[in-house]
Structure 1
Amino acid sequence: MMHNSIMIRDRLREANQSSLHKERRKAHRFVRALNTHALPREEELKIAGNWLIYSNDSIPGMVEAITDLKEYWLKSGLSLSDDASQMIGIQLRVDIEDGCFTRLVTAERIEIMASTMKGIWAGIVHLQQELSARQAPFLKAGLIECQPSWKIQVSQSPFGSNYLVPDLSETYLSNDAFRMLAHSGINGMIIYGDWLCYVQSSIYPELNCVDYERNIMQLRDAIERAKRYGVQLFYVPVSPKLAMDHPLFVKYPKSRGAQNFSGLSENSPKIFNLCSSDPTTLAFHGEVMANLFKEAPDLGGLILIIGGESYYHCFMRPDKNGLEAHERTNCPGCKAYAPEVVVNGLLAATEEAVHRVKADAWIMAWPYSAFFWSSDPAQLQLLENMPEEVALLSTIEKDEWLQKDGYQKSIWDYSIDFTGPAGNLIQQAEIIKTREMQLVVKTETALGLECIQYPYMPSLQRLAEKWRHVSELNPDGVVQSWMFFGMWGSRAEELGWWASWHPEKTTDEVLVLMASRDFAENASTMIQVWSYLSEAAGHFPYVAHYFTGPEFLGPAHPFFFEDPVPLPIEFTSLLYYLQENEESFSSTVTDIRQTLLLDRFPHAMLKEVFKADEGREVSQLVIAEYEAAVAASEKAYLLIKDIPLPEDPILLQSLQEESLLCELIYRTFVTTAHTYRFLLLKEQLAESPNEAAFAEMKEIVKDELENTRHARHIFQEAPWLDLALRLDGKYPSSIQMIDSKLVMMEQGSTF
């Protein structure tokens, strides 16, 4: 999951020259004029005539809120006038719980009241959602009091916006990004990166940051700008990893903790994290984190990943070469302790220091991939003694074996297939409930690792089911996405708003509302399209490695009868997440390109993540699953392709975006099925020459060429789907890869 801050900053500077990124940072919402000829329902009032919208403009955020509501009002076909007698008032009231709002509707007056801008934006978005879903200018009359299902709903930043510290200026993280978050019901955004950027220490001055003042100023500014939109920033701090001869370790040898795994390069230095049991080092952690909240008191909280990355301790990623079987770390100071004792000590040192400065700051402990060190699969020993003021953040579906038709699938990371809840989370939630602590659930509201290349997977029935499972856990908060693509403002992400603000509505009710609003008379057809894609998403046979293979490259992925040497550079990339075992601020991963191709049937990985039932053959099960996904996604593609193009430009844009995405999903499944079949035949042919196998391989190549030619237009018409625009790596253009693939395969160089 980790990302390389330096590389993403460079990519972001490039991307910000792209008009697509600039456009997508805006709070795009498809707003159609309301149907004024509709008839009111019981307890509804018609919103007619001229209106005046007013507030106290001196309150930070009110101008932005009023501007947003006015924009919506006019786009919907409603009228505004400075001398209107009908008024919409937006006002703060201290007696309303934070994040909640009260709304009063009469024939002459609409009032939205809340105690903070978080509640004000919730009320404005709720009003707009209600009118848009109703598709008519009617609101429920009288007084309503609304509260969300959970206190915080945290997301990644929108597509094309930065989330990496310290570069949080408006150039890279615009106000439109926060506005877009607010419109999806999100009141928290993740920021991420090295906490060495914020060190001004009296304990370890050797780690002081020369740009500290500038970094703090940018952080404070971003927090204040986000606050105007009812959004808080939640920081995922990445701990130092330093060379063994770093001046700190020379001066204070006890500060040096575990030696980590070796890096990507033969010349990578030996790196060490800070010792997680040394009292001085623990005090240093507390000093730095507490100072963050002193300098930026409106920072929402910390998300401390204490499993396999980010908030380092000496049991997280130690190099275990030369250790005895019972030894869990090579750190001299920590090896005498159980890992749970050390991790809880680190959490306590951080939490106590922060809460002395800001009592209501969220401190979340996230045992993501804690199997690296945990004494039990669900980290129950950790939770039984975890500081009570620390909230548990845990993932809805991770670390589960899912029984499928003929096999078991390892859900080793985020999945769109398995909707949860995972057994470990159920056990964890029980302990948290018993101890009366706070629970925050991590989910993915738009995709899974099986389909990480899309901005969203329109498998809405399946994604809605995942939200139901989140809701059933009754969490205090939700983190609804990690930083894989960037928030898109899609219907998939909108499901989170409905789950929080209208938990009483069924999945069918929500889908009908969204489909009717965005596709009008084609609503029922679109719901069927989403159903077919939900079916297709259930046929991913395993969660593949990050950012590789036909599942990721889609129809740009080639295959060869004889592997080319060297591999064409257009099928390689720089993968930022491989920074994990490099020194802090290292640029090593900028020099080492990685192949994106799957060039062998993945037997080795399947042994780790796939268990065939007795009497079933692994490779045939995998291929059968991908072919089933092809069949289901083809139904979706053919159905949406035949929808007549509407004249309304807003309906047309909605349909075209969804149609291009559906076609890419279908053609990606086709390429994936072709690739796996081809690679298995290639393997068989290498063992025993067979004319029939060779003929079948040539037929697969012929079919794949046709699929690839048909796919090219997708990236021309929807450049937002091109891999070259991603910010989590430096990838070649999808069109460039497709063209190279077509040349090689059409010229017969693969034969």
Structure 2
Amino acid sequence: MMHNSLLILDRLEAANNEPYNRLRRDPHRHAIKLERSVMKLSNVNYLEGQWSVVLEGKLEGMEEAAIDLKDYMQRIGVDIASNASNFFILREDSAVAAGSFCRDVNENAITLSASDISGLWASIVYLEKEISALGTLALPIGRIERAPSWKKQISQAPYGANYLVPDLDDIYLSDDAFRLLIHYGINGMIIYGDWLLYVNNAHYFELNHPHYDHNIAILKKAAKRAKKFGIALYFVAVSPKLDGNHPIFSRIPSMKGAKISPGLKETTKEIYNLCSSDHDSLNFHGETMAGLFREVPDLGGLILIIGGESYYHCFMRPDMTHIDVNLKTNCMRCQTKTPEQAVNALLAATATAVHKVKPEASVMAWPYSAFVWSSDPAQVELLESLPKDVALLSTIEKDELYWKDGYKKRIWDYSIDFVGPAANLLKQAEVVHKRGIPLYIKTETAIGLECIHIPYMPALHKLGYKWEQVSLMKADGVVQSWMFFGMWGSRAEELGWWKNWKPDLAIDEILNIMANRDFGEDALSYIRAWSYMSEAASHFPYIPIYFTGPEFIGPAHPLVFDEEFEQKPYFEARLYYLQENEETFSTAVNEVKHSLALTKLPYSHMNSTMIADEGVDLVQLVISEYELACDYAKAAFKEIQTLTYPMELRSRNFAREEHVIIEFVYRSLLTTLHTYKFLLAKEQSDRELMLEITRLELANTEQALALIAKAPWLDLNRRTDGDFPSSRVMMEVKINNLNKELAAR
């Protein structure tokens, strides 16, 4: 992924017309003024009278935590005053386990105790959620002790905040971003980018970055600001990909590793990664990463993707043109090793160096798409010799063959349909648990690749069942999202807090709590709508092509009558993920645009991601599955369509957002169904059917355009994982084109 922070900043400032560092999502949006119970019980504190917040300790971030607690209490109707006779006490207590807390409630004091700032924030969030869910100003007198089910919960940055290094100062990543994260139980945040930005090495001086001092200072400040909110930054480090004529290769030829497969543009330049078997190369990796933690001690750890991208080795993306089919790399030194030997040597060099500086830092190896080089599908051979101070990070659902009615669906990436656990993960977990190696689970808490065009899929039963599977893995930590849309602060993401801190509650109980809290007397209707949406998600037939087709463009997707349609430039984008085969700091992804629209049925992709039962037509199967998905989504839409927005601020805001997202999902699925039917009719030269579908889709798109006006955050142009055209503009162009086609025939 390329470094595009300035583009992100310009786009979002222009779109929102407000300061970039002022997030639109409110951590306390569940807080409304609450009533006290009329009937008083002797063992309950009703938070009557005046209260003050007192700090007992010197934990960095205590003042921010106190401000947050005061803010919440004032919103719900508690009288906060500096000279009060009742006290909220935030106490540093070394006897409490890290990340955990104790709460003592008596008649005139509520004491929240923790040994670290993460635990103290956890106690405040727990208190706030408990009161909001209860719906009344009351806390039982007595002592409770709480610990999370998993210690580390790591997320993408919030929507509207940057995650790309080095631009992590407060104009790109505000304190409000960290405050939002911690209110959803998240104590870790992913940052991403090229680690060459942090090189200042006397021996490997050719690779020094000219702005090292500035870059490291920004990272240090960001990590320090995050720490005040109990959050650590985890760096997804992207390795150098260098011109074969780079000066470092001229001076130390042995550092030149595999020639990488060609990228987006035709060029005579050959690109190489650093060799994963060379002493100097391994030494350089170790020194750089150790230096990072020495200079930025508040970093939480490293996430090293060693499968198909990011933390490069000579087996990752080698150009195998004219290379013996029995070999797995074009690097002569690495050909003498197995991939597992080379990768584990790279991980050992990295982790050993890091842990000499910061022993508690998490170094996670993530074999995402490692099937391209590994000796077995579950990477068991790799894990059996994985360095013991390296943790495994693996996905809950990826690389499974999911058996469904009439076909098998390849879960080649994140899915909202299949909740896991994947068979490969179970094998991996068995190995690492036996060896005493920490296990982290990667999941998607709000979406799947079947629906990455929205901030969250309101299929909360389905998402809840996935969290239950995550919980059953007994992991040391969870990475709950990749960097697709941005953490949104939705009920979908809140599910992760409930399963971590209230693991004994069933998903139905959690959904009842959230629905009653947010929608009051209409709660049952929203629960039914979520159930229908969960059924809809169960009929997504396959994981579509990245960032392409109606599943991604939604109702803006055109119906293309002719292969080379005039409006094609309106439906093109720059796709940042394609940076993988480009030179470090290359601007190639800014120079090449890709069509987002399907102009014909994607047979190749369907055949590679679906296996139909004997006698079942694949295209008809896809259409029939989308028909069922549409039916369920329509039922969800109808369930809440007639509900009015109550006057209470809480319900009005929540209801409006949920109405919009449910209808938008329905209209996206309708566009998807219409597109596949249209392309089949086009293939069969059935012009009458094409026109009939066009009329239906025209009406659907007009309704969707009205939704974009109500909720501009649904516009693809707001995304930060690519440079996408405006959904509103695409819809307007599409509507104009469909009207022309109908008028001409």
TM-score (norm 2): 0.98
Instruction: Determine the structure 2 residue equivalent to 1:388.
Output: 388
Hey, what's the Cα distance between the residues in 2 that align with 1:28 and 1:725? 24
Instruction: Determine the structure 2 residue equivalent to 1:370.
Output: 370
2:720 is aligned with 1:727: yes
The 5 A counterparts of 1:527-546 are 527-546=527-546
Deviation, structure 1 residue 43: 5.3
2:332 is aligned with 1:315: no
Q: Secondary structure at the match of 1:128?
A: helix
Instruction: Determine the structure 2 residue equivalent to 1:737.
Output: 730
Deviation, structure 1 residue 269: 2.3
Select between 15-24 and 161-170 the one with higher mean Cα deviation.
15-24
Q: Is the 8 A contact 2:241 2:582 kept in 1?
A: yes
Structure 1 pair 335–638 and aligned structure 2 pair: CA distance change class (3 A): same
Deviation sequence 1:287-313 (CA, Å, 0-9, x none)? 000011110111100011000000000
Q: Secondary structure at the match of 1:335?
A: helix
Hey, what's the Cα distance between the residues in 2 that align with 1:564 and 1:8? 33
Gap runs ≥5 in structure 1: 686-692
Hey, what's the Cα distance between the residues in 2 that align with 1:457 and 1:637? 13
2:91 is aligned with 1:91: yes
Deviation, structure 1 residue 408: 0.4
Hey, what's the Cα distance between the residues in 2 that align with 1:503 and 1:338? 42
Structure 1 pair 35–706 and aligned structure 2 pair: CA distance change class (3 A): same
Q: Secondary structure at the match of 2:89?
A: strand
Hey, what's the Cα distance between the residues in 2 that align with 1:147 and 1:485? 30
Hey, what's the Cα distance between the residues in 2 that align with 1:413 and 1:610? 13
The 5 A counterparts of 1:146-545 are 146-267=146-267, 269-545=269-545
Q: Is the 8 A contact 1:25 1:176 kept in 2?
A: no
Q: What amino acid maps onto 2:500 in structure 1?
A: S
Deviation, structure 1 residue 30: 2.9
Which of residues 1, 4, 14 is equivalent to 2:2?
A: 4
Select between 300-309 and 74-83 the one with higher mean Cα deviation.
74-83
Q: Is the 8 A contact 2:401 2:409 kept in 1?
A: yes
Structure 1 pair 41–195 and aligned structure 2 pair: CA distance change class (3 A): farther
Instruction: Determine the structure 1 residue equivalent to 2:699.
Output: 706
Deviation, structure 1 residue 33: 1.4
Structure 1 pair 594–342 and aligned structure 2 pair: CA distance change class (3 A): same
Provide the aligned C-alpha RMSD in A. Answer: 1.4
Hey, what's the Cα distance between the residues in 1 that align with 2:317 and 2:345? 18
Hey, what's the Cα distance between the residues in 2 that align with 1:298 and 1:620? 54
Q: Is the 8 A contact 1:12 1:727 kept in 2?
A: no
Instruction: Determine the structure 1 residue equivalent to 2:78.
Output: 78
Structure 1 pair 453–268 and aligned structure 2 pair: CA distance change class (3 A): farther
Hey, what's the Cα distance between the residues in 1 that align with 2:347 and 2:217? 27
Query: Paired residues, what number?
Result: 741
2:555 is aligned with 1:558: no
Q: Secondary structure at the match of 1:747?
A: helix
Gap runs ≥5 in structure 2: none
Hey, what's the Cα distance between the residues in 2 that align with 1:622 and 1:23? 39
Q: What amino acid maps onto 2:696 in structure 1?
A: D
Hey, what's the Cα distance between the residues in 2 that align with 1:380 and 1:16? 47
2:711 is aligned with 1:718: yes
2:647 is aligned with 1:647: yes
Select between 530-539 and 639-648 the one with higher mean Cα deviation.
639-648
Q: Is the 8 A contact 1:16 1:160 kept in 2?
A: no
Deviation, structure 1 residue 562: 2.1
Instruction: Determine the structure 1 residue equivalent to 2:618.
Output: 618
Q: Is the 8 A contact 1:392 1:440 kept in 2?
A: yes
Instruction: Determine the structure 2 residue equivalent to 1:690.
Output: none
Q: Secondary structure at the match of 1:310?
A: coil
Q: What amino acid maps onto 1:522 in structure 2?
A: D
Hey, what's the Cα distance between the residues in 2 that align with 1:656 and 1:323? 58
Deviation, structure 1 residue 203: 3.1
Q: Secondary structure at the match of 2:546?
A: coil
Deviation sequence 1:312-367 (CA, Å, 0-9, x none)? 00000001111111110001110111000000000000011111111111010000
Q: Could you tell me the percent identity over the aligned residues?
A: 50
Which of residues 15, 38, 46 is equivalent to 2:12?
A: 15
Q: What amino acid maps onto 1:720 in structure 2?
A: W
Q: Is the 8 A contact 2:57 2:91 kept in 1?
A: no
Q: Is the 8 A contact 1:40 1:138 kept in 2?
A: no
Hey, what's the Cα distance between the residues in 1 that align with 2:301 and 2:38? 46
Hey, what's the Cα distance between the residues in 1 that align with 2:600 and 2:616? 21
Q: Is the 8 A contact 1:88 1:109 kept in 2?
A: yes
Hey, what's the Cα distance between the residues in 1 that align with 2:300 and 2:676? 46
Q: Is the 8 A contact 1:25 1:160 kept in 2?
A: no
Hey, what's the Cα distance between the residues in 2 that align with 1:700 and 1:244? 53
Deviation, structure 1 residue 59: 4.1
Q: What amino acid maps onto 1:476 in structure 2?
A: D
Q: Secondary structure at the match of 1:416?
A: coil
| Runs of 4+ that moved beyond 6 A | none
Hey, what's the Cα distance between the residues in 1 that align with 2:6 and 2:57? 35
Q: What amino acid maps onto 1:14 in structure 2?
A: R
Deviation, structure 1 residue 491: 0.3
Q: Is the 8 A contact 2:410 2:610 kept in 1?
A: yes
Q: Secondary structure at the match of 2:52?
A: strand
TM-score (norm 1): 0.97
Instruction: Determine the structure 2 residue equivalent to 1:688.
Output: none
Instruction: Determine the structure 1 residue equivalent to 2:570.
Output: 570
Hey, what's the Cα distance between the residues in 2 that align with 1:43 and 1:453? 49
Q: Secondary structure at the match of 2:684?
A: helix
The 5 A counterparts of 1:134-153 are 134-153=134-153
Hey, what's the Cα distance between the residues in 1 that align with 2:157 and 2:199? 25
Q: Is the 8 A contact 2:154 2:480 kept in 1?
A: yes
The 5 A counterparts of 1:104-143 are 104-143=104-143
Q: Is the 8 A contact 1:630 1:669 kept in 2?
A: yes
